[in-house]
Amino acid sequence: MEKRILKRKLNPFLLITTVLVLAILAGSSVFYQTELNELVSSREDLNTQLENKTQKIESLERQKKNLSESLDDRAGEIERLENTNIEKENRINELKDRLRKLNSTSSQIKQENERVKNENKNLEDRLDDLNFSMNIICSSNSTSTRIEERCRLHGY
């Protein structure tokens, strides 16, 4: 007699159905495993892209910070140059005022010099007149001792 492995007789329909279900499960498992691998790969790609974008953002933030510092430095330099410019303009205005005063003083000195020249000429003319008169007095044969002393005193 045959030795039976199973105590019961297997139902062929149940056996075929079980094999089909297992085959469907195996097929769907392979399909879903492929899809899962694609999702994991896609996730890794997205993570890589995210990391690259994060690095790019950090790089841009560093660049922004450097540019901001450079801008602050330039703003400080511009302010310093503006202050220097204002100081130089003030100095120019002071020098222009001083030049106007010096020109005015020079004009006044020229006028005073002209007045003094005229006064000096008048005094020279008067001195010439006095010398002429003194010469006439001293050359006239005056007998006054006092006149003779004066004439000697003045070189006549």
pLDDT tens digit sequence for 136-148 = 877 776 667 777 7
The helix or strand, by DSSP H or E, that contains position 130, with its residue range, turns out to be helix 12-139
Answer yes or no: are the C-beta atoms of 134 and 152 closer than 8 Å. Answer: no
Q: What is the pTM of this model?
A: 0.48
How many CA atoms lie within 13 Å of 5's alpha carbon, on the beta-carbon side?
A: 1
> Which pLDDT value is given to residue 39?
92
Query: Maximum Cα–Cα distance for the chain, whole Å?
Result: 205
pLDDT tens digit sequence for 64-108 = 999 999 999 999 999 999 999 999 999 999 999 999 999 999 999
pLDDT tens digit sequence for 40-49 = 999 999 999 9
Structural domain spans, the chain:
27-122
